[in-house]
Structure 1
Amino acid sequence: MMKKLQGWVVATGAAVVLSWSPLASSADEADFPAYVDKIKAEARAAGYTEDTLNRAFAGVKFYKKSVEADKNQPEFKLTLDTYLPRAVPEWKADKAVEMYAKHRDLLDKIGAEYGVQPRFIVALWGIETNFGSYTGGFDVISALTTMAFEGRREEFFKKQLWHALTIVQENHIDVEQMQGSWAGAMGQTQFMPSSFMQYAVDYDGDGRKDIWGSMGDVFASAANYLKSVGWQDDVTWGRQVQIPGDFDESLAGLNTKKTLAEWQALGIRRMDGNDLPNRSDLEASVVIPDDKQGRVYLAYANYDALMRWNRSHYFVAAVGYLSDRIRFPR
């Protein structure tokens, strides 16, 4: 069965997935300056300083590309087997091993402090922004203001805009360097502003939570996010498995947890046909992203944690696969 992916805004790093509606917005670009004045008045009433507002909105502009990207996201068909080579080509797997070696001392230190295996930090970094080489070229304040003005999800994007103004007011990043995606996901971790406020870390101790340029802040922020949503450093993310032809698909899904012994009794085996690990303390779910003829995974607790980062089985599979390539380089 082919998997149909359509009509989603995925604000990665924020664990936010927003479905979109085909209804056109009634917003007229000519009204954007008046909307900016309205937003500034609301922000002023909420306690943001005049200096913050002057800095944040000095170069604010309407991003037609943001509105178009939101409305016209492509509809396409994929299976996990065709998606993974695109998300994790050989050059990216090689680059992940290289970047892990380059930053190993810092990664190992942060991994030990937060209880997160460093290979997963690198894998997220690689999938999100190609190891920091592409973080988006949109001014975050402008992108968020545009999306709020567009109107279909005004309250969500206004909330993100207030958080972004707090980031400016607390001087974590210069406004000119506050770049991100067309939907406002920021920095090398692609955090939405709300996730920045909740999970970003000033690891290097310079008084700024700099997920754009400080590698300590970038890695520690990613690790802090994972730790906060239940990461376990004594297990991996999951494993690809074989299921019997008569497997009851009603048992699939993250809401169903069974011990490995229980899954073993239901006929599930490793990909090589051998028994599952003999761990009585470990529970897992069966995940079937496409259908029983496609890839099937036993998903451990860390799979659930990665789903909090981005609610896409394809995203989690890509991060997990890349982390495995770091662990077992070819």
Structure 2
Amino acid sequence: MPAAPPKETRVRRILLSSALLSTATTACAGDLVFDDCLRGLRAQAADAGVSNEAFDTYAAQLAPDMSVLDLLDAQPEFTTPIWDYLAPLVDDQRIADGRAMLETHAATLAQVASKYEVDPQTVVAVWGVESDYGRAFGKRPLLQSLATLSCFGRRQAFFRNELFATLSLLQVGDLKADGLVGSWAGAFGHTQFMPTTYRRIAVDGDGDGRRDLVGSIPDALASTANYLVRAGWRSGEPWGYEVKLPPGFDASVAGRKSKRPVADWQGLGVLRADGSPLPASDAPAGLLLPAGVEGPAFLVFRNFDAIYSYNAAESYALAIALLSDRLRGGGPLLAAWPTDDPGLDRAARKHLQVLLLARGYAIGVPDGMIGTLTRRAIADEQLRLGLQPIDGRAGRKILDALVREGPPITLPR
């Protein structure tokens, strides 16, 4: 008969078993709540025009994905410094790829511009920011995410409408369920429409009788232009431009919504970024200061608001606006962001990840995406090198420090 394990070992086993039982009980309870919720959603979907047969077909194998609840309040547009947010979205790679897309899809974009009067560079910039020109649709099963958010957490009514819209698009044949993935919140396709927006605004750009923003680039580009027009886009007008503020400028007059004629801004001493006078105009413009008076400043017009409506974050709209300018042949911003630790573009982020891998950190393939493992590795290196703050941020300081250190050696783990 084997000897009984030590008391300490028995206690650990009991605690582990209790924890596993608690987790399993919680998961089981969550599944029961989810199943009960789906039964209620079935009746509501019928009122929204989704047949019981369609609901049963597409919801039959759904299980909750509770990880999406952690993302409800963590949108990068609102939690990331503006220089970090823009660095990978308006970088050399995205600019070069966008120019290639302008050439590859020139005929389609010309048709879109003729019909909707939205310039190709703006449409392609939306495509580039939203899905990296079709490379990044998102990885989460769309129906699973929307069903989970319809049953748990806040904003359930909002996500139920998105779920029913998705089911209706599947029901009429615009979409196919196989491989339908998107963001955690339900945006999907080449230009990441939310399902209700898709149902309301998507158009058939290639004339095949379907509005397929997943499999058809012409549909996606035409639908994006249609969205911008319906959001108030005006052909031939700028989104805005970079400006220079006079010393001691009163920032209280700034704000995207606090519009006044360009002539008024000129009277307050605002100049073009290169120091030349503002163009003579009575067009209403708001002053955007995404990093305060010490950083780059922009006068923004009605077309900026149209871009903003696509995803209600000024940093997002600015990324598209600046990328569209670069696709037109414009140069980078003249003013610097007010930081001594600028953000990294995707090439620099990959370089940083390579250096971390060489130092023994198991962070996966270097892809320029800064996830949890990369942030933890950066924090460890910040601590080792005496860099402050120890925040796991991928900035210029940590990259330069690792480069200066010379050939990396694998550290003990």
TM-score normalized by the length of structure 1: 0.86
Q: Cα deviations across residues 263-307 of structure 1 (Å, max 9, x unaligned)? A: 1111000111011123x3532111111210011100011111111
Cα distance in structure 2, aligned partners of 1:102 and 1:45: 44
Cα distance in structure 2, aligned partners of 1:115 and 1:29: 49
> Which of 275, 278, 284 does residue 277 from structure 2 map onto?
275
Mean CA deviation greater in 140-149 or 69-78: 69-78
Which one has a larger percent strand, Structure 1 or Structure 2?
1
* 2:265 alignment partner in structure 1: 263
Q: Is the 8 A contact 1:81 1:295 kept in 2?
A: no
* 1:291 alignment partner in structure 2: 292
* 2:409 alignment partner in structure 1: none
| TM-fit CA distance, 1:259 | 2.2
Cα distance in structure 1, aligned partners of 2:40 and 2:228: 37
Which of 1 and 2 has greater Rg? 2
Q: Which amino acid aligns with 1:145?
A: A
| TM-fit CA distance, 1:55 | 2.7
* 1:173 alignment partner in structure 2: 175
Mean CA deviation greater in 82-91 or 299-308: 82-91
Cα distance in structure 2, aligned partners of 1:309 and 1:61: 30
Between the aligned residues of both structures, percent identity stands at 35
SS of residue paired to 1:291 = coil
| TM-fit CA distance, 1:159 | 1.3
* 2:307 alignment partner in structure 1: 306
Please say if 1:43 is aligned against 2:82: no
| TM-fit CA distance, 1:248 | 2.4
SS of residue paired to 1:255 = strand
Please say if 1:223 is aligned against 2:225: yes
* 1:250 alignment partner in structure 2: 252
Describe the shift of the 1:74–1:269 C-alpha distance in structure 2 as closer, same or farther (beyond 3 A): closer
Cα distance in structure 1, aligned partners of 2:69 and 2:127: 26
Please say if 1:102 is aligned against 2:142: no
> Which of 89, 114, 139 does residue 137 from structure 1 map onto?
139
* 1:14 alignment partner in structure 2: none
Q: Cα deviations across residues 229-286 of structure 1 (Å, max 9, x unaligned)? A: 11012112111100112322222112222222221111000111011123x3532111
Cα distance in structure 1, aligned partners of 2:244 and 2:330: 23
Cα distance in structure 1, aligned partners of 2:242 and 2:84: 16
Q: Cα deviations across residues 54-79 of structure 1 (Å, max 9, x unaligned)? A: 33213322113322333666799654
Q: Is the 8 A contact 1:236 1:302 kept in 2?
A: yes
Q: Cα deviations across residues 196-240 of structure 1 (Å, max 9, x unaligned)? A: 122111122222110101111100110000000110121121111
> Which of 113, 125, 128 does residue 126 from structure 1 map onto?
128
Cα distance in structure 2, aligned partners of 1:167 and 1:98: 32
TM-score normalized by the length of structure 2: 0.69
Structure 1 unmatched runs, 5+? 1-26
* 1:33 alignment partner in structure 2: 35
Q: Is the 8 A contact 1:139 1:176 kept in 2?
A: no
Cα distance in structure 2, aligned partners of 1:324 and 1:205: 30
> Which of 194, 197, 220 does residue 195 from structure 1 map onto?
197
Describe the shift of the 1:44–1:77 C-alpha distance in structure 2 as closer, same or farther (beyond 3 A): closer
> Which of 135, 149, 152 does residue 150 from structure 1 map onto?
152
Structure 2 unmatched runs, 5+? 1-28, 332-413
SS of residue paired to 2:291 = coil
Please say if 1:327 is aligned against 2:332: no
Q: Which amino acid aligns with 2:329?
A: F
